[in-house]
């Protein structure tokens, strides 16, 4: 059995990597909203925080009623109970990665988890 999985993804509005990479500690998705489009619902989570990285384009997110502009290079963390919805700019698409992990589950990272 290999100790890694590798895939390639095609252009798609949404690609979830959980099943494709057999992830056991996170959900990761790559998302693209076309110009003027939005995620069609407001949502929150029970226990997972979400980390978003804006890869291309621009748009906005509304979190608990507060509007925040987004552009390539921006990163944000959203706590589980926060209500959120993403929107692409009217003139261009937005592509972002979403990493979903259980809040307060990180115990070790970088060198505290490395075996050198």
| Burial grade of 25 (CB within 10 A; 0-12, 13-18, 19 or more) | exposed
Q: Which residues of the chain have pLDDT under 50?
A: none
Query: What pLDDT was estimated at residue 1?
Result: 60
Which tens digits make up the pLDDT trace of 69-92?
999 999 999 999 999 999 999 999
- Residue pair 95/35 in contact by the 8 Å Cβ criterion: no
Indicate the CATH number of 14-104 among 2.60.120.10, 3.40.50.150, 3.40.630.30, 1.10.287.3510: 2.60.120.10
First to last CA, the chain: 23
pTM of the predicted model, to two decimals? Answer: 0.89
How far apart are the C-alpha atoms of 74 and 54, rounded to whole Å?
Answer: 5
Residues 59, 63, 65, CA angle at the centre, nearest 5°?
A: 105
């Amino acid at each position: 059995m290999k100790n890694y999985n590798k895939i390639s993804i095609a252009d798609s509005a949404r690609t979830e990597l959980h099943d494709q990479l057999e992830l056991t500690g996170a959900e990761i998705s790559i998302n693209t909203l076309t110009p003027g489009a939005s995620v069609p619902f407001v949502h929150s989570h029970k226990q997972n925080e979400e980390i978003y990285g804006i890869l291309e384009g621009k748009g906005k997110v509304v979190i608990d009623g507060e509007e925040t502009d987004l552009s390539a290079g921006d990163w944000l963390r959203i706590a589980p109970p926060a209500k959120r919805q993403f929107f692409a700019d009217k003139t261009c698409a937005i592509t972002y990665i979403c990493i979903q992990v259980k809040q307060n589950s990180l115990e070790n990272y970088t060198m505290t988890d490395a075996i050198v």
